[in-house]
């Protein structure tokens, strides 16, 4: 019986190898294996450490926010190289950038990769949302028949997934021990030598390049409303206000992530307020000293309007980076949202009302 099953599995593997990839974005294929009892059939997909031009295009589209919900890998169990029943098992999200970073780092390692269904979200964010979590991990272990694939009972889970995975509960429910690996996939080959992470492997970094890659997707998200607001302001004759709207967006979407570590205060909203206020200062000074034909109270009014609106736009845009950085925790983000969002709404609302009033006065000759 064993020989028959092994021959059958080998034949199916050959057939699937001819079919090619089942997920072109990650260079994967699939094969089937059987338990020795012959009663259970499981599908194991195959992948490699090669990052193709198609993968790189997918990464670029993901960074630009194009088709954000479609950068996914099929959940399940994957093989890398020629793993045996003693080969290590790594756990990943089904976000293409997460999966591709892992498999490229393991290109020379014979192993298995267990991909969880995180709805196309990266490990860290999915752990915070609960999709990279205990229930999904236990479910996936059972679904792929992992106990039939390997003899050991150890899973290597990314450190950034620790907030969503209860190691003790996973062991009690599945029999598999969770071993939290290093922060970066690139450190895994070194980590495998001792299965101990150094302090450097545990340290979460957020470098300038890490922050810059976040900018394009944020720009795409807010580009349309910012352009619409600028065009409306320009059509009513307030060209300076139109330029101010663009400047506020630049300060919140570009300057903020670049200067993040050096802006004082800890809350993102107040950081955004500071950098937005600095961006608004030239416009406020121009209104006060440049509008010499206007009444003093109107000059003060326009200067105040720029400071109110631009600083709040920047603060709101800065707040959107909390879910992408290592500077904030899940509880901290929730607290900051409930603390500052009402204030941002009220202050910016007052500023918008002033814009409407002052612009109407200009259009209708002081009415």
Q: Is 214 a residue whose pLDDT tops 60?
A: yes
Residue 64 has pLDDT above 70, yes or no: yes
- 144 is written with which tokens? 């792929």
Q: Look at residue 254 in the predicted model and tell me its pLDDT.
A: 93
Does 21 score more than 50 pLDDT?
no
Task: Quote the pLDDT of residue 33.
Answer: 46
User: Which of the four pLDDT bands, split at 50, 70 and 90, describes residue 102?
Assistant: very high
pTM for the full model? 0.73
CA distances from 205 to 73, 182, 199, 323, 327 (A): 26, 12, 12, 15, 10
- Once rounded to an integer, what is the mean pLDDT over residues 102-114? 94
The C-alpha R_g of the chain, in whole angstroms, comes to: 27
Give the residue among 180, 219, 221 at the shortest CA–CA distance from 201: 180
> What is the phi/psi pair of residue 233, to 5°?
-65, -40
Averaged pLDDT, 187-215 = 87
Question: What's the pLDDT band for 39 if we cut at 50, 70, 90?
Answer: very low
Instruction: Read off the tokens for 45.
Output: 């997909």
Residue count of the chain: 367
Give the Cβ contact number of residue 18 at 10 Å: 7
> Which class would CATH give 2-204?
alpha beta
pLDDT at 29: 52
Q: What is the DSSP string of 186-228?
A: GGHHHHHHHT---HHHH-----HHHHHTTHHHHHHHHHHHHHH
pLDDT on residue 328 = 63
> Helix 330-363 and helix 268-290: axis angle, to 10°?
20
Q: What is the mean pLDDT of residues 205-221?
A: 84
- Burial (CB count <10 Å: 0-12, 13-18, 19+), residue 209: exposed
The residues spanned by each domain of the chain are 2-204, 209-363
Q: At 327, is the pLDDT very low, low, confident or very high (cuts 50, 70, 90)?
A: low
- Its sign, for the CA torsion 130, 133, 138, 142, is positive
Q: Are strands 154-157 and 111-116 parallel, antiparallel or unpaired?
A: unpaired
pLDDT score, position 12: 37
The CA-CA-CA angle for residues 145, 151, 154, to 5°, reads 85
Dihedral sign for Cα atoms in the order 149, 154, 155, 156: negative
Is the pLDDT assigned to residue 210 strictly greater than 60? Answer: yes
Structure tokens of 18? 């001819």
CA distances to 81, 143, 290 from 20, rounded to whole Å, are 16, 23, 68
Q: How far apart are CA 11 and CA 18, in angstroms?
A: 11
Element (H, E) at 101: helix 96-105
Per-residue pLDDT band at 275 (split at 50, 70, 90): very high
Rounded CA-CA distance 239/50 in Å is 51
Query: What is the pLDDT averaged over residues 63-69?
Result: 82
Tokens matching residue 255: 């300057």
Sheet strands side by side (includes 41-47) = 29-34, 41-47, 76-80, 111-116, 89-93, 154-157, 177-180
219, pLDDT greater than 60: yes
> How far apart are alpha carbons 83 and 114 in whole angstroms?
13
Residue that the structure tokens 């490990």 belong to: 123
With cut-offs at 50, 70 and 90, classify the pLDDT of residue 5: very low
Q: How far apart are CA 170 and CA 357, in angstroms?
A: 61
């Amino acid at each position: 019986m064993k020989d028959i099953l092994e021959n059958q599995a080998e034949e199916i593997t050959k057939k699937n190898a001819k079919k090619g990839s089942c997920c072109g974005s990650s260079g994967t294929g699939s094969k089937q294996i059987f338990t020795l009892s012959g009663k259970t059939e499981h599908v194991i997909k195959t992948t490699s450490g090669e990052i193709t031009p198609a993968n790189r295009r997918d990464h670029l589209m993901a960074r630009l926010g194009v088709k954000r919900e479609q950068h996914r890998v099929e959940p399940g169990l994957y093989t890398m190289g020629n793993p045996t029943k003693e080969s290590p098992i790594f756990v990943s999200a089904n976000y293409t950038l997460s999966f591709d970073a892992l498999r490229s780092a393991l290109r020379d390692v014979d192993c298995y990769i267990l991909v969880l269904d995180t709805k196309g979200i990266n490990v860290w964010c999915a752990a915070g949302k609960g999709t990279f979590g205990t229930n999904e991990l236990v479910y996936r272990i059972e679904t792929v028949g992992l106990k039939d694939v390997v003899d050991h009972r150890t899973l290597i889970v990314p450190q950034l997934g620790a907030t969503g995975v209860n190691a003790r509960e996973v062991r009690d429910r599945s029999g598999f021990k969770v071993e939290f690996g290093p922060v970066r996939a690139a450190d895994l080959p070194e980590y495998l030598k001792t299965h101990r992470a150094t302090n450097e492997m545990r340290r979460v970094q957020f470098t300038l390049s890490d922050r810059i890659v976040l900018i394009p997707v944020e720009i795409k998200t807010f580009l349309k409303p910012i352009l619409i607001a600028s065009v409306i302001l320009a059509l009513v004759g307030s060209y300076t206000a139109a330029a101010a709207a663009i400047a506020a967006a630049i300060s919140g979407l570009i300057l903020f992530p670049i200067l993040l570590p050096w802006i004082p205060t800890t809350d993102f909203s107040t950081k955004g307020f500071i950098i937005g206020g600095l961006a608004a200062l030239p416009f406020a000074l121009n209104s006060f000293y440049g509008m010499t034909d206007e009444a003093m109270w109107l000059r003060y009014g326009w200067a105040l309007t720029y400071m109110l609106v631009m600083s709040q736009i920047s603060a709101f845009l800065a707040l959107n980076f909390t879910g992408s950085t290592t500077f904030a925790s899940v509880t901290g983000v929730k607290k900051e949202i409930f603390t500052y969002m009402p204030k941002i709404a009220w202050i910016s609302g007052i500023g918008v009302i002033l814009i409407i009033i002052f612009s109407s006065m200009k259009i209708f000759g002081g009415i």
